[in-house]
A and B are shown apart, each in its own frame.
Chain A
Amino acid sequence: MGNMLRIGPVLIWLAVSLPTQADTSPDTSELHLDPAWLTLIHYQPDTFGDGYTSQADDPAFFLSENGKQSPKAELEATLTAIRKPGKGDDHARCQFPARTTWLQQELNLSLPEISCPGYQEWSETLNTETVTLVFAASYLNSPSSMFGHTFLRLDPPQDDNETNLLLANTISYAADAAAHDSELLFAYKGIFGGYPGITTVQPYYEKIRLYSDIEHRDLWEYKLNLTQEEVDLMIAHAWEIRDRNFDYYFFDENCAYRLLALIDIARPGTDLLGEVSTHAIPSDTVRWVVDKNLVSEVHYRPSAATSVAYSLSTLPDEQQTLAAAIANGYVDADADEVSTLSAKQRAHVLDATYDYVRYKSEADGWPREIAAPLSHDLLRERSQINNVSPPEGPPEPVVRDDQGHDTFRLSLGAGQQAHREFTQLTLRPAYHDVLDPPAGYRTGAQLQFLRLDARLYTDNNELQLEQLTGVEIRSLSPRNAFFSPLSWQGGVGGRRTDTGNDRVLTPYLEGGAGGSWSLGHQTQAFAIATADLEIDDDLRRGYDAAPGADIGLLHQNNRFSLLAGAKTKAWIVSSQHRQDQLYAKANWHIGREFSLFAEFTREDHYDRYQSLWQAGLHAYF
């Protein structure tokens, strides 16, 4: 029961109340510019001018009327407020325990003892000894989850058998989006502001249920090496911002950003926020935390989907068939085919089948009338087999998500298009394409943002924008006897299109859906039906549309990635010509920092053949 003795930060700041000159005002002329103070009030330097503005969007977070813009006014107001007589939860010291702790340490303030029942109960209940940063990885068929998500887990002392991490609390920061907002409004407000961001505390098992069971995302747990004092300061600050609004922005001031601020406060001088430029991708923020030596241990928690796929794959072939037959209702859980197996085999078949039925209920909405009686039969049969432990879970991936290639890519290449030579520069701020080094990323998944391809044609020194990709998503996930995901793709941006006598820059929208099938460990074949739309006044009728198909092969390994296939598009509105392509693209990976790339495309369009080839180097930062 050692943890009962620890009542968190309350004691810390009482303990540091050194009896020094209580009533003389210490020199605070420069203190408001101390990085620790600026971090505590979430000040950021103004883009224009030399002032500061706090990112907190809630008047109750400030003690001074000018607090949002004035670190100095806020510091003075805080110093006055914490020295006021009074007691109870409404006192500034109870509302702002982290600020109080810091000011007391900096200024050797002597303050009378005060009790803060609300804060004390809160920190006692959170009962935190260590803090773990949890990263919810992306799931294969959900590229929108690719950026990942992070939250903090508050781990209780691990000194007796009464502690259990499933019951530990977590702190997360999320957009408080109204449920009735449409997806478009959701995206708009997310990017340009408009949603309040709120901090929530939930038990870890709720998070596991959401991410691991419902969203099929593996969780990576990074235990931070914060000291007890640093942990207490973080908890104290979490109390200060618990009901306070910080406007939420998807790209920078997002879930991951606010957690970085909490870590910065816990360990002053860490300056994780200094790493954020235009965007804070959760997986990148995990890299920064690892790079700043804040992590002592990493633990992998596979999602329900990862676990069931693995346990099915470890069954011998005939037992896989049996599991599929039970799950689909062709064979009963207590049929002869099952009961003749050895106890261990029977247990593993029943375990894998139950997990599979549960997965299908969650992911594909198997109706309860079918899934519930079947699940009950499986569990009842399983409960009669004693002393067989469940099979080993999936192995931890050799390369973690934070150890994959960096997401900003710069490429330089040279090539030839229809006998015109060019050099090409490509900037891609985020994130990954299927030809990039695959380690740490989901196989067959691609998500690119704001990619810019510029070409300099060497014959006449003409600089051309070749393509501007707003967003491009691709998800190739193989189907098998148990899982039948849809492979799909979509993209929007501007690109050069061939009008027959010129290549003009035109806005485009493209999409597709189909299937993919595994051909051995790292290779898959795919067939996608596609649709393209281009809108430009250089097109005869102002726009053109093309149904089409894309059939190919994808191979990904840590040394080499290859994408090759055939595409056809039938432009049916303006040009009324078919466009057929054979393409091959390959990357050779040199560590995770560089790849050499080469591509070749042979095209038949407007009754003529043209070739494109290009080769060069990708560098990842």
Chain B
Amino acid sequence: MKKLIAGAILLGASSMAFAQPGCGVGAMIWKGQSGIAPHVLAATTNGTFGNQTFGMTTGTLGCQTNQSVQSMAMYMDSNIDKVARDMSRGSGENLDTLAVLLGVDEADRDAFRKVLQDNFATIFPSSDTTSGEAVDAIVALLEQNESLSKYVAA
């Protein structure tokens, strides 16, 4: 199932084409000049995106071996403002989407939301935080959490 979701997300990046699953996908997507942005721009009709509060990934994420973390990273990259908003509120559909992408069980969702809200300032230390840095911080936080570490295990 997770594999399918990852595939579904990647589908957006290249219109009708499918990327191959696995580490190579992440590498391929991140390799672009400024991450996913050119793909996203090419896929919309008006081609202009507004100012993002937070930066897009700088490509520092590298090759994450966990498929679901990669999916989350891609989602964060195009929805960073909304994810940050939901995180600060401790609820919202974008936070639920992160939970789905990481495969967090229903029973652990409350803990997941609480960890992200309580540690907002750790995940986004400044307004210059990129989505890649935020993903790294989320992974580090979840790894330290007894019930949530299993979702980011490599």
A contacts, CB < 8 Å to B: 1, 3-4, 121-122, 124-127, 161-164, 166-169, 174, 177, 179, 199-203, 205-206, 209-210, 213-215, 242-243, 347, 351, 354-355, 358, 361-363, 365-368, 371-373, 375-376, 378-380, 382-383, 386-390
Contacts and interface: CB of A to CB of B under 8 A. Distances in A.
Contact of A169 (B8, B50, B106): B8
Interface string B42-75: 0111111111111000000000000000000001
Given A162-B1, A376-B53, A383 B11 contact: no
B134 to A, nearest CB: 12
A470 B40 CA distance: 36
A367 B51 contact: yes
B120 interface: yes
Contacts of A210: 44-46
Contacts of A382: 88-89
For the residues of B in contact with A, the DSSP-based class is helix
Contacts of B127: 372-373, 375-376
Contact of B100 (A161, A365, A366, A368): A161
B87 A366 contact: no
In the complex, which of the residues B48, B97, B127 has the most CB atoms of chain A within 10 Å of its own CB atom?
B127
Contacts, number: 151
A214 to B, nearest CB: 6
A41 to B, nearest CB: 21
A597 B106 CA distance: 58
Given A125-B7, A127-B4, A372 B54 contact: yes
A236 to B, nearest CB: 15
Contacts of A205: 75, 78-79, 97
Report the 5 A-B pairs with minimum CB-CB distance, sorted nearest first: A383-B120, A362-B50, A376-B127, A372-B127, A379-B88
Given A379-B84, A386-B90, A372 B44 contact: no
A368 B124 contact: no
A403 B47 CA distance: 32
- Range of interface residues on B (Cβ < 8 Å): 35 or more
B68 to A, nearest CB: 11
In the complex, which of the residues B40, B88, B94 has the most CB atoms of chain A within 10 Å of its own CB atom?
B88
B90 A214 contact: no
Contacts of A124: 4
Interface string B1-27: 110110111011001101000000000
A371 B8 contact: no
A162 B16 contact: no
Nearest to B100: A164
A166 B93 contact: yes
B117 interface: yes
Contacts of A168: 8
Contacts of B82: 213
A506 B129 CA distance: 60
Given A361-B53, A376-B126, A390-B89, A206 B97 contact: no
B53 A372 contact: yes
In the complex, which of the residues A125, A179, A382 has the most CB atoms of chain B within 10 Å of its own CB atom?
A125
B45 A174 contact: yes
B74 to A, nearest CB: 10
B124 A125 contact: no
Contacts of A388: 89
A203 B105 CA distance: 23
A366 B85 contact: no
Nearest to B40: A206
A383 B75 contact: no
B16 to A, nearest CB: 5
Nearest to B44: A210
A390 B92 contact: yes
8 contacts: A161-B105, A162-B100, A214-B48, A242-B16, A363-B50, A368-B53, A379-B85, A382-B89
Contacts of A167: 5, 8-9, 75, 97, 100-101
Given A200-B15, A365-B50, A1 B1 contact: yes
A390 B4 contact: no
A358 B81 contact: yes
Given A365-B50, A382-B89, A209 B5 contact: no
B100 A361 contact: no
Nearest to B96: A164
A206 B44 contact: yes
A4 B1 contact: yes
B43 A361 contact: no
In the complex, which of the residues A210, A372, A373, A390 has the most CB atoms of chain B within 10 Å of its own CB atom?
A372
A162 B103 contact: yes
